[in-house]
Amino acid sequence: MAVLGQNQYGKAENRVVRITRDGTTHHIKDLNVSVALSGDMEEVHYSGSNANVLPTDTTKNTVFAFAKEHGIESAEQFGVHLARHFVTSQRAIHRARIRVEEYAWDRIEHAGKGAHSFVRKGQETRLTQITYDGSSWEVVSGLKDLVVMNSTDSEFWGYVKDKYTTLPEAYDRILATRVSARWRFNWTDDAQKMPDWEKSYEQTRKHMLQAFADTYSLSLQQTLYQMGSRIIDHRGEIDEVRFSMPNQHHFLVDLEPFGLKNDNEVYLAADRPYGLIEATVLRDGCEARIPADLTNL
């Protein structure tokens, strides 16, 4: 005879981003929240009766609603609020387990602008590819997995619409992307002075981030071009920059069913599908030589 053992259910990996707006200074809490509930759940397993089952979709909605109602002071406190709610509000639920991963962000400091630009902590992987044929060099350096976000100063509207278009125009949105970039040096010959590689990387990354922070964006393509052109303008040792930038979509959550107004505060962070923007920015008169697939390595 078979009997039911330990069991639980819930909604896993709810990606919630909470923006707290203190004037022009913004604060980000970026969490991945998983809910697991257990209690009097024998009948749903034995007979399929859902009489004691709180839908997992409801647990998801609760995560987003609590982000608005209670805010997110810390991952621990947010989890306490959720666990207490599920156990005390549902007679059949005896145990709630809330797992929270928090993704930290550092500010990108930029003079004369509001404090609303961030770079994910942990940051990027630095890369380089050196090719030498016995007489000439090709050095392509870069980075991958540099996650950046502007919590405002981004719009997306005026695009082509057809009968399949459902995306609403946005006049104040989150712009976030995971930057993969490669840049080609114009140092090709031992007779030339070799670049200061460490300084070049530091400064190239700095200009890339500064352009991202300073650009009031009407499209991710525009931001990409500004990042590349700033590198070309400020780093004479670089002739070509190639970017691959997936759009890390953040959608406003509809909280009206819960009687709450979402004033650009609570977002669903969607990891797929995503828009993928790719382009090369060149020094005038130079030819593109970085392979398109190199930015995927």
User: Residue 130 maps to which CATH number?
Assistant: 3.10.270.10
The pLDDT tens digits of the residues spanning 138-179 come to: 999 999 999 999 999 999 999 999 999 999 999 999 999 999
Q: Which of 61, 80, 102 is the last residue of a domain?
A: 102
Q: Which of 78, 102, 126 is the last residue of a domain?
A: 102
Please tell me the predicted confidence (pLDDT) of residue 114.
65
CB 243 within 8 A of CB 262: no
Of 186, 294, 185, the closest CA to residue 242 belongs to 294
CB 236 within 8 A of CB 257: no
Of 230, 218, 150, 224, the closest CA to residue 180 belongs to 224
**Count of residues in the chain:** 297
Please tell me the predicted confidence (pLDDT) of residue 113.
65
In degrees rounded to 5, what are phi and psi of residue 176?
Answer: -140, 145
Judge whether 284 lies within some domain. yes
289 in the same domain as 159: yes
132 in the same domain as 72: no
CB 106 within 8 A of CB 213: no
109 in the same domain as 216: yes
Question: Residue 118, class by beta-carbon neighbours within 10 Å (0-12 exposed, 13-18 middle, 19+ buried)?
Answer: buried
Residue 183 CB neighbour total at 10 angstroms: 27
Please tell me the predicted confidence (pLDDT) of residue 295.
72
Q: Which of 74, 102, 130 is the last residue of a domain?
A: 102
Q: Which residues are catalytic?
A: 11, 56, 249
72 in the same domain as 83: yes
CB 217 within 8 A of CB 154: yes
Name the domain count of the chain: 2
In degrees rounded to 5, what are phi and psi of residue 121?
Answer: -65, 155
Please tell me the predicted confidence (pLDDT) of residue 70.
96
Please tell me the predicted confidence (pLDDT) of residue 109.
80
What is the rounded radius of gyration, in angstroms, for the C-alpha atoms of the chain? 24
Distance between CA atoms of 138 and 239, rounded to whole angstroms?
12
Distance between CA atoms of 68 and 230, rounded to whole angstroms?
38
CB 176 within 8 A of CB 147: yes
Cβ-count burial 73-93 (b if 16+ within 10 Å, e if not): eebeebbebbbebbeeebeeb
Judge whether 5 lies within some domain. no
Please tell me the predicted confidence (pLDDT) of residue 122.
86
The residue range of the domain holding 84 is 14-102
Antiparallel, parallel or unpaired: β 276-282 and 105-107? unpaired
67 in the same domain as 110: no
Judge whether 4 lies within some domain. no
Give pTM, 2 decimals. 0.87
- For the chain, 297 residues long, give each residue's pLDDT as a single digit of tens: 999 999 999 999 999 999 999 998 999 999 999 999 999 999 999 999 999 999 999 999 999 999 999 999 999 999 999 999 999 999 999 999 999 999 999 988 875 666 889 998 888 999 999 999 999 999 999 999 999 999 999 999 999 999 999 999 999 999 999 999 999 999 999 999 999 999 999 999 999 999 999 999 999 999 999 999 999 999 999 999 999 999 999 999 999 999 999 999 999 999 899 999 999 999 999 999 998 887 766
